[in-house]
Structure formats: structure tokens, C-alpha cells
Amino acid sequence: MGWRRMMVRIGTVCFLLFPFVASASGCFSGTTAVRVGGDTAPDGEAVRTAEPPLELSWLAILYAQSPPRDTVLRKIEAATNTRLNILWVPDALKEGKLNMAFASGFPTKVVTVPDIRNPAFLKAVRSGWFWEIGPYLRDYPNLAAMKPTILKNTAIDGKTYGIYRERDLSRQGVIFRRDWLDNVGLALPQTIDDLYKVLKAFTELDPDRNGIHDTFGLADRNDLKFGAFKTLSSYFGTPNEWGWNDGKLLPEFMFDGYMETMKFMRTLYREKLINPDFALASKTRQWDYFAQGKAGVYIGNMDDARNLNAAAAKSDPAVRIDLVNRIAGPDGRHRVWSQAGHNGMFVFPKSNVTTEAELRRILAFFDRLA
């Protein structure tokens, strides 16, 4: 089974595990501890194993309002001869909790680190807090199949200190109201000019057919990376963070495409095709504009399409959502910016994983998940 499929299977748990596992110690106050464990398989049969279950504590990040049911966790325990002790930290609190932990130590054997370039984390790694697992990966068939490019992107000083949480290299695109597109008589946008025409029509042609001039084209937020700007900039030919020009490696803002994107955004603002507060708006605000039928286009993570559709359906059951990310730039070429292919990684503190034998058993657990 491929590494991507492994990560999908892990996803039910580990996407949520990304919230940090909280401990009862002072620096983790306000977190929720969930004890998961048992000696029976989901079908009620006793687990037959030659060795006692692996006791595995895990620092994770909670994206939902409350921890998930333990149904999937119990199945994983039964399949891996493991007892999981998941400690959750709400997503909104993760940075503060992690930074405190980097200063005082971790209470668990597995730690989910979302930002591997966090200076406090890098300092902890270079101080020898975590196991280097690179030399062990070849002993586990599924871990050995991890992608070299992503391993390189998650390496610290050329070494592998964790198991990455895979995500698509390209995740950004244009999500729009397909029912509105049909109402104004336009086709799926294929070029920047097409996209501009859609935004203008969604602002001026009463796309929701309520007889009121109360809509605009694009809902955006105060985020130059994960909002609309970065994706639009790639369509205009801006390189991915850095690029070569006349033999020199230069940052993206020194390329013509970056300036053309700024001009395009200024046009949208002047013609009121975008929410006027976009420079200050949060993602929640951007989300609400789209979900409440105020805007017809949302540029961002295409994974958001499903939840946007569900949110919009509450106020308009007839809503239909579509998406595209292959938009041709002014030169006719298709580009889209790429990320690093991961969303952080799982690391193993030496303070809690004290022997190589224990580390190997934990790595076998991750390999078994595949």
C-alpha cells in the first residue's frame, strides 16, 4: 500500500492528532486528555499477541469543537497492539502550547509539530531533544516508501527527525458558485480575463436573482499566502517564492508577475468586485461572505469546497459549487504555486522515548498503519 494511502488512513486520527496532545502539567492547562485503550478488538474478540500492548502517548491538535469518538482509535489499537493516550490541544492554542513545551519539555512519546521551521523547534532539534529516525526507515517497508522530495523538504540540517504528514503539493484554486455562473450565462473560466469577467458579472448582473444589487465577485482575506493573492500571482507568472532572472536568484516580489497581480487586485478593489475589507478580513469573515451568498468566488484551499458547499446550503439549498485551478496567465501558460508537500511531522522526544528498542516499536506502529 502506498505512502499516500497510508496517510489517508492515518488521516482520520492524525489530522486531528495534529492538535497537540496535552498533558496534565501546568503548561498544558486548558487541554483535553482522552484515554483510549482496551484489550478487545472491535468485534469483541481478545487481541492475541506475543507481547504486551505498546503504551503510546501522543500530543495532538484538535480542529473540531470536541475530541472525536474513539471508534477509529480502538480499531487502530486492535490492529497494532497499541494503547493510545491522546492528549488534545485546540488549534487556536497550538502555537503558544508548543512554544512552552519547547522550552520546558514534552509529556508524550509522539509530538505533532505543524511548523517545522519554528525557531524554538529547530533549537530543540539541534540541542538533541529528538531522535533522528532517518537511519531506521529502511527497516520498515512502508516508511521506506516515503517520498524523497518531501523527506528532503522536512529535513533539518540534512537529517530526518520525523514522519511527515503528507499533503498535496498543489492545493490552491478557484471555488465558485456554479449556479450563479449559469444564471449570468458564463462558462467555466479558463483564463485570467475569463475570471475577471466572472467576478464582474457576479457583482453587476444579480447572479442570485433576488432583484437586489447585494453581491460581489470575490471574497478574500488578509493573507498574502493562503488568500487569493498568492494563487492569482502564480497565474500571472510569479515564481514560487524565489526564481531566476538574468542569472540571479531573486524573491518573488521582484518579478513582473507580482506587480501585475497587485494591479489586478487594485482593479478588483476600485470596481468593487471584492469585499472592501479584504485587507483586514479574517478567514472566518471570508468564509461567511461566500457561505451567506454575498460573494460567488473563493480563492484558496480547494479542500474547503465541500465545507463551503455545506455552509452555503444552509441559506440556499439550491447552491451548486464547482472549482478549477488551471487558469491560463496572460502568456497563455498554466501555472500554480506549490507547497512543500507536508503539514508538519510527528517527532519523538528522547526524554520519553528512552531506548532504541522503544523507538523501533513506535516506528513499527507507524509502519503498521500503512
Which H or E run contains 267? helix 256-270
The predicted-structure confidence for 178-224, as pLDDT tens digits, reads as follows 999 999 999 999 999 999 999 999 999 999 999 999 999 999 999 98
The predicted-structure confidence for 304-347, as pLDDT tens digits, reads as follows 999 999 999 998 999 999 999 899 999 999 998 888 899 999 99
Q: Closest by alpha carbon to 61, among 5, 110, 132?
A: 110
Q: 130 vs 110, 113, 339, 362, 363, CA distance in Å?
A: 10, 12, 25, 14, 14
pLDDT the model gives residue 121: 92
* Count of beta carbons in the 10 Å neighbourhood of residue 50: 5
pTM: predicted TM-score of the whole model, two decimal places: 0.70
Q: Closest by alpha carbon to 22, among 111, 141, 102?
A: 111
The predicted-structure confidence for 294-303, as pLDDT tens digits, reads as follows 999 999 999 8
Distance of alpha carbon 221 from alpha carbon 314, whole angstroms = 22
pLDDT tops 90 at residue 30: no
**Could you tell me the three cell numbers for 274?**
471584492
pLDDT tops 90 at residue 138: yes
Least trusted range by pLDDT, from 8-12, 69-73, 123-127, 204-208: 8-12
Distance of alpha carbon 91 from alpha carbon 328, whole angstroms = 36
* Count of beta carbons in the 10 Å neighbourhood of residue 167: 19
Which domains does the chain possess? 3-168+344-369 (3.40.190.10), 172-324 (3.40.190.10)
Q: How far apart are the first and last CA of the chain?
A: 7
3-state secondary structure of 32: strand
Cα-to-chain-centroid distance, residue 183: 33
pLDDT tops 70 at residue 13: no
Mean pLDDT of 69-74: 85
pLDDT tops 70 at residue 46: no
Distance of alpha carbon 314 from alpha carbon 292, whole angstroms = 8
Mean pLDDT of 126-145: 96
Distance of alpha carbon 365 from alpha carbon 370, whole angstroms = 9
Higher pLDDT, 168 or 228: 228
pLDDT tops 90 at residue 291: yes
Percent residues over pLDDT 90 in the chain: 69
Name 343's bridge partners.
none
Least trusted range by pLDDT, from 46-55, 60-69, 288-297, 361-370: 46-55
Mean pLDDT of 116-121: 92
Distance of alpha carbon 102 from alpha carbon 27, whole angstroms = 11
Distance of alpha carbon 97 from alpha carbon 85, whole angstroms = 18
Strands 295-301 and 321-324: unpaired
Distance of alpha carbon 153 from alpha carbon 275, whole angstroms = 36
Mean pLDDT of 278-304: 93
The packing angle between helices 256-270 and 228-235, to 10°, is: 120
pLDDT the model gives residue 144: 97
**Could you tell me the three cell numbers for 38?**
482496551
Highest mean pLDDT among 15-24, 56-65, 97-106, 305-314: 305-314
CB 143 within 8 A of CB 1: no
pLDDT tops 70 at residue 1: no
In the chain, which ranges are E strands? Answer: 32-35, 54-62, 82-90, 110-113, 162-166, 172-177, 216-219, 242-245, 248-251, 295-301, 321-324, 342-347
Q: How confident is the model at residue 168 (pLDDT cuts 50, 70, 90)?
A: confident
CB 23 within 8 A of CB 49: no
Distance of alpha carbon 150 from alpha carbon 134, whole angstroms = 13
Distance of alpha carbon 309 from alpha carbon 315, whole angstroms = 11
Q: 206 vs 195, 210, 312, CA distance in Å?
A: 17, 7, 17
Mean pLDDT of 128-141: 97
The predicted-structure confidence for 342-367, as pLDDT tens digits, reads as follows 999 999 999 999 999 999 999 999 99
Distance of alpha carbon 235 from alpha carbon 327, whole angstroms = 6
pLDDT the model gives residue 49: 53
Q: How confident is the model at residue 369 (pLDDT cuts 50, 70, 90)?
A: confident
Mean pLDDT for the chain? 86
pLDDT tops 70 at residue 257: yes
3-state secondary structure of 95: helix
Mean pLDDT of 154-172: 93
Place of cell 455552509: 311
Place of cell 490492529: 79
Determine phi and psi for 274, rounding to 5 degrees.
-135, 155
